[in-house]
Amino acid sequence: MISPSLFLPCAIFLTPVLRALAQSQSFAWDRLTPSENLEWVPCHSTYQCARLLVPLDYSDPSVGNAALAVIRFQANVSKADYGGPILFNPGGPGGSGVETLIPRGPEFHLVLGNQYDIVSWDPRGVSFSTPIASFFETDAERALWNAASFPTSLNASDDAIPHAWGRAHIEGQLAAQRDTTQIMKYMTTDNVARDMLRITQKLGFEKLQYYGVSYGSFLGAMFAAMFPDKVERILIDGVVDANAWLNANLTIAATDTDAALQTFFDGCAAAGPDLCAFYKPTAPEIAERLTSLTDAVRREPIPAITSQGYGLVDYSLLRMVIFNALYTPYVSFPPLAEALAALENGNGTSLYLMLQDVPFQCDCADDTVPFTANGAEAAIAIQCGDAAPVEDSIGQFTEFYQNAAKTSQFVEFFVGQNRVSCTGWEVYRNDTFKGPVAAANTSFPLLLVTNTADPVTPKAGALKMAARFPGSGLLTQDSPGHTSNVAPSLCTAFYFRQYFQNGTLPEPGTVCSVDATLFGASSNLTSRMPSPTTEEEQVLEALKIIGAVVKPVIAGKFWRT
Ligand SMILES: *[C@@H]1O[C@H](CO)[C@@H](O)[C@H](O)[C@H]1NC(C)=O
Ligand SMILES: *[C@@H]1O[C@H](CO)[C@@H](O)[C@H](O)[C@H]1NC(C)=O
Ligand SMILES: *[C@@H]1O[C@H](CO)[C@@H](O)[C@H](O)[C@H]1NC(C)=O
Ligand SMILES: *[C@@H]1O[C@H](CO)[C@@H](O)[C@H](O)[C@H]1NC(C)=O
Ligand SMILES: *[C@@H]1O[C@H](CO)[C@@H](O)[C@H](O)[C@H]1NC(C)=O
Ligand SMILES: *[C@@H]1O[C@H](CO)[C@@H](O)[C@H](O)[C@H]1NC(C)=O
Ligand SMILES: *[C@@H]1O[C@H](CO)[C@@H](O)[C@H](O)[C@H]1NC(C)=O
Ligand SMILES: *[C@@H]1O[C@H](CO)[C@@H](O)[C@H](O)[C@H]1NC(C)=O
């Protein structure tokens, strides 16, 4: 299983997150008694934790309950200025809201305003919420399966697609056999939206204030469609096309993937050889250099033995590292360029370490702990359960894949793997909310945010969703990467605050530039911001720390949005 922390792009972000992981493991969620109300106890020094009981099936309480792990970072203002709770979802699906919020409460305050309680939670079936979704009976069983099915590019070999399809059927059957708690049956996004309403009500509010990124955008849109009169604020960033999601056909998601890759070539050429180790004088030459390297690695994979593990840098691993870097270009492009240059010289260490598999350690005492990391299983259960059943044969899936490959050269991971996972899925309900994920008349307009070259949630998807919520605002950030968070922008942060604090939407057509450059190249940034104020500097730092939320892969095989 791949440790999510290894996907964090930069050492300065690593520290708080590792601390958070250690802290979340040290807090004994299982000692809290789940309650029908939010009974907060102090946790992680400056946070509060509670376990909230919610019905698995809102229309049939006899099915049983889930206990949601909920966490709060409280407002820091006088009562008169209090702005209520903002619920946050980090995406995935299957991302842990608890682990995301723990080190970042102060940063959320800096960006959104400290008059808000920042509230997050592990969605039903995920992480510290119980029961958990799991295909496996022990962590060792999960680790063995994940190691054996370490993701390959669907373009790695002739049997890559048949294998992926076959493995999805094993996972689907395991899930169906082992869903004794029925959590996987009930963890679809419509129920997560119902949970958001319940949390809001238990906090004493009627309407939702919400900030969701990536998959969290689909959750926000579902809420708005299901409860249009319960919207106080919904800001969604990295917007998923709901129709694509509900059809397990994310082809549209690849619309801007190649444009994101192009920014690597353009940025490297502009930055020069000192800042970009994979430099050539023009972008086409850099593209050509990468193609040659990829072809060479396909013919002759490079063994990498490092102090932190060992393996082959082969076609799949190289492609995956490149694709993943597109999520977080501002921090990932410089080390990617260095790793590519080293690989050219036959040294695969750095590239391997960009996607390293943490050796599994059998801590047998852990098997008795009810909470475990199950991001990939949760993601598959949610995404495939949300969608209409996918009954593709291998041949039909191959056709789907080849059609998607017309949109981008990178469909072998996110677009391809996520659909193929659903071909084997068996756990469906017949009463899920089927849409349309749209509302003519939400009680407050939504704010949608999109980047100009997002590798998995392109502007095309945001435009479709904006059309489904007439009156909503659309803010464009002029940057590559997945969600606006991955590039600090005071302009974007300003519109976030305007929306939450004053209810103001950006003018149609508003485009924010970012306060960062690819490869750290010099630019007109300094002339635009001659001397940022202390507050502006704090906000920029906070944005970087929140941006480190974005991680492409869950447990090695499922690509997040
Ligand atoms: C806000 O937080 C600061 C620093 O932790 C603290 O000194 C201050 O008393 C807090 N203010 C309120 C109104 O809670
Ligand atoms: C698969 O890889 C080959 C060789 O690298 C490349 O020419 C082709 O475009 C790729 N096909 C797909 C569908 O990604
Ligand atoms: C998936 O969506 C794309 C457009 O985004 C479409 O061309 C394709 O036919 C769809 N595939 C299936 C199997 O529905
Ligand atoms: C390969 O690269 C790593 C990381 O930069 C370095 O520590 C190591 O010494 C290199 N190995 C060789 C054989 O040059
Ligand atoms: C839906 O599922 C329930 C139980 O899972 C079943 O009783 C009911 O007949 C199903 N309805 C339809 C229309 O299939
Ligand atoms: C939209 O909301 C307004 C004001 O709340 C209400 O008067 C109107 O009937 C609503 N329209 C629809 C189509 O629900
Ligand atoms: C909100 O509006 C008030 C009053 O017009 C203004 O003083 C404040 O700066 C605005 N806040 C933001 C974040 O724009
Ligand atoms: C800086 O701004 C000037 C004038 O607006 C423009 O001509 C120039 O291309 C910009 N330079 C960069 C590196 O963006």
Q: What is the DSSP letter of 457?
A: S
Q: Pick the residue whose CA is nearest to atom 9 on ligand 6.
A: 441
**Same domain membership, residue 198 and residue 100:** yes
* 170 contact partners, CB below 8 Å, separation of at least 6: 424
What are the pLDDT digits (tens) for 380-416? 999 999 999 999 999 999 999 999 999 999 999 999 9
**Same domain membership, residue 335 and residue 466:** no
Helix (H, G, I), strand (E, B) or coil at 60: coil
Q: What is the DSSP letter of 133?
A: P
More confident site: 274 or 370: 274
- DSSP string covering 9-44, please? -SHHHHHHHHHHHHHHHHS-GGGSPPBSS---EEET
pLDDT score for 470: 97
**Same domain membership, residue 115 and residue 11:** yes
pLDDT score for 438: 98
Q: What's the mean pLDDT in 236-240?
A: 97
Cβ atoms of 125 and 96 within 8 Å: the answer is no
Share of the chain above pLDDT 70, in %: 89
- Asked if pLDDT for residue 524 goes beyond 70, the answer is no
pLDDT score for 357: 53
Going by their DSSP bridges, the two strands 473-480 and 447-453 should be labelled as: parallel
The 10 Å Cβ neighbour count of residue 8 is: 21
What are the pLDDT digits (tens) for 311-333? 899 999 999 999 999 999 999 99
How far does residue 52's CA lie from ligand 1's centre (Å)? 28
Residue 22 lies in a domain: yes
Question: What's the burial of 363, exposed, middle or buried (CB within 10 Å: 0-12/13-18/19+)?
Answer: exposed
Q: Pick the residue whose CA is nearest to atom 14 on ligand 1.
A: 76
Could you identify the atom of ligand 3 that is nearest to the CA of residue 249?
Answer: 1
Query: Of 205, 60, 196, 177, whose CA–CA distance to 124 is shortest?
Result: 196
Quote the CA–CA distance of 325 and 312 in Å, as a whole number: 19
How far does residue 106's CA lie from ligand 1's centre (Å)? 11
Could you identify the atom of ligand 4 that is nearest to the CA of residue 338?
Answer: 5
- Asked if pLDDT for residue 18 goes beyond 50, the answer is no
- Asked if pLDDT for residue 548 goes beyond 90, the answer is no
| H, E, C per residue of 486-536 | HCCCHHHHHHHHHHHHHCCCCCCCCEECCCCCHHHCCCCHHHHCCCCCHHH
CA 377 to chain centre: 14
- Asked if pLDDT for residue 89 goes beyond 70, the answer is yes
Q: What's the mean pLDDT in 448-462?
A: 98
Q: What ligand has the least distance to the C-alpha of 521? A: 8
Residue 273 lies in a domain: yes
Question: CA dihedral defined by 221, 222, 223, 227, rounded to 10 degrees?
Answer: 110
Q: Pick the residue whose CA is nearest to atom 1 on ligand 3.
A: 249
Q: What is the DSSP letter of 198?
A: H
What is the length of the chain? 561
Query: Of 122, 91, 43, whose CA–CA distance to 549 is shortest?
Result: 91
Q: What's the whole-number average pLDDT of the chain?
A: 90
* 26 contact partners, CB below 8 Å, separation of at least 6: none
**Same domain membership, residue 215 and residue 118:** yes
- Asked if pLDDT for residue 10 goes beyond 50, the answer is no
**Same domain membership, residue 340 and residue 242:** no
Residue 399 lies in a domain: no
Split at pLDDT 50, 70, 90, the class of 23 is: very low
**Same domain membership, residue 268 and residue 240:** no
Q: How far is CA 138 from CA 3, 176, 428, in A?
A: 17, 17, 24
Q: What's the mean pLDDT in 419-429?
A: 96
> What residues flank ligand 2, with Cβ below 6 Å?
155, 405, 409, 412
Q: What ligand has the least distance to the C-alpha of 231? A: 6
Going by their DSSP bridges, the two strands 47-55 and 302-306 should be labelled as: unpaired
How far does residue 150's CA lie from ligand 4's centre (Å)? 25
Quote the CA–CA distance of 116 and 85 in Å, as a whole number: 5
Quote the CA–CA distance of 216 and 561 in Å, as a whole number: 8
Query: Of 460, 456, 448, whose CA–CA distance to 510 is shortest?
Result: 448
Quote the CA–CA distance of 534 and 509 in Å, as a whole number: 30
pLDDT score for 309: 83
**Same domain membership, residue 213 and residue 107:** yes
Residue 420 lies in a domain: no
Helix (H) or strand (E) holding 463: helix 459-468
What are the pLDDT digits (tens) for 243-253? 999 999 999 99
Q: Pick the residue whose CA is nearest to atom 13 on ligand 4.
A: 347
Helix (H, G, I), strand (E, B) or coil at 236: strand
More confident site: 535 or 501: 501
Q: Pick from 317, 340, 355: which residue ends a domain?
A: 355
> What residues flank ligand 1, with Cβ below 6 Å?
76-78
5 C-beta closer than 6 A to ligand 4? no
Alpha helices (H) along 227-314: 242-246, 257-271, 283-299
Residue 313 lies in a domain: yes
Split at pLDDT 50, 70, 90, the class of 13 is: very low
372 C-beta closer than 6 A to ligand 7? no
Question: CA dihedral defined by 233, 238, 239, 242, rounded to 10 degrees?
Answer: -120
Spell out a b/e string for 475-490, using b for 16 or more CB atoms within 10 Å of the CB, else e: bbbebbbbbbbbbbbb
More confident site: 139 or 555: 139
pLDDT score for 14: 29
How far does residue 313's CA lie from ligand 4's centre (Å)? 14
Q: What is the DSSP letter of 261?
A: H
Residue 143 lies in a domain: no
**Same domain membership, residue 230 and residue 326:** no
Cβ atoms of 70 and 50 within 8 Å: the answer is yes
- Asked if pLDDT for residue 221 goes beyond 90, the answer is yes
Q: Pick the residue whose CA is nearest to atom 12 on ligand 6.
A: 441
- Asked if pLDDT for residue 551 goes beyond 90, the answer is no
Query: Of 550, 554, 556, whose CA–CA distance to 126 is shortest?
Result: 554
Cβ atoms of 517 and 511 within 8 Å: the answer is no
Quote the CA–CA distance of 132 and 151 in Å, as a whole number: 23
83 C-beta closer than 6 A to ligand 7? no
Cβ atoms of 223 and 210 within 8 Å: the answer is yes
Instruction: Determine the straight-line distance between the first and last CA of the chain, rounded to whole angstroms.
Output: 19
How far does residue 447's CA lie from ligand 6's centre (Å)? 19
Share of the chain above pLDDT 90, in %: 78
Q: Pick from 355, 389, 415: which residue ends a domain?
A: 355
pLDDT score for 559: 66
- Asked if pLDDT for residue 4 goes beyond 50, the answer is no
Considering its fold, how many domains does the chain have in total? 2
CA 269 to chain centre: 29
How far does residue 141's CA lie from ligand 2's centre (Å)? 34
- Asked if pLDDT for residue 155 goes beyond 50, the answer is yes
Q: φ, ψ for residue 427 (rounded to 5)?
A: -90, 100
Split at pLDDT 50, 70, 90, the class of 528 is: low
249 C-beta closer than 6 A to ligand 3? yes
Helix (H) or strand (E) holding 338: helix 329-344
Residue 299 lies in a domain: yes
**Same domain membership, residue 450 and residue 332:** no
470 C-beta closer than 6 A to ligand 6? no
How far does residue 400's CA lie from ligand 3's centre (Å)? 7
Query: Of 19, 320, 367, 294, whose CA–CA distance to 150 is shortest?
Result: 320
More confident site: 53 or 528: 53
Quote the CA–CA distance of 7 and 321 in Å, as a whole number: 10
How far does residue 419's CA lie from ligand 7's centre (Å)? 45
Q: What ligand has the least distance to the C-alpha of 346? A: 4
Q: How far is CA 74 from CA 47, 53, 467, 538, in A?
A: 7, 21, 35, 19
Cβ atoms of 378 and 184 within 8 Å: the answer is no
Could you identify the atom of ligand 2 that is nearest to the CA of residue 411?
Answer: 14
Pocket test for ligand 2, best of 155, 315, 401 (most atoms within 8 A of CB): 155
**Same domain membership, residue 351 and residue 482:** no
How far does residue 310's CA lie from ligand 4's centre (Å)? 13
pLDDT score for 376: 85
Quote the CA–CA distance of 237 and 204 in Å, as a whole number: 26
**Same domain membership, residue 507 and residue 485:** yes
Residue 406 lies in a domain: no
Query: Of 219, 26, 211, 218, whose CA–CA distance to 107 is shortest?
Result: 211
Q: What ligand has the least distance to the C-alpha of 79? A: 1
Could you identify the atom of ligand 1 that is nearest to the CA of residue 76?
Answer: 14
Q: Pick from 293, 323, 355: which residue ends a domain?
A: 355
What residues make up the domain containing 321?
257-306+309-355
Which CATH number characterizes residue 89's domain? 3.40.50.1820
**Same domain membership, residue 283 and residue 210:** no
pLDDT score for 17: 44
How far does residue 170's CA lie from ligand 5's centre (Å)? 25
Cβ atoms of 495 and 508 within 8 Å: the answer is no
Helix (H, G, I), strand (E, B) or coil at 556: coil
What are the pLDDT digits (tens) for 192-209? 999 999 999 999 999 999
Quote the CA–CA distance of 28 and 273 in Å, as a whole number: 50
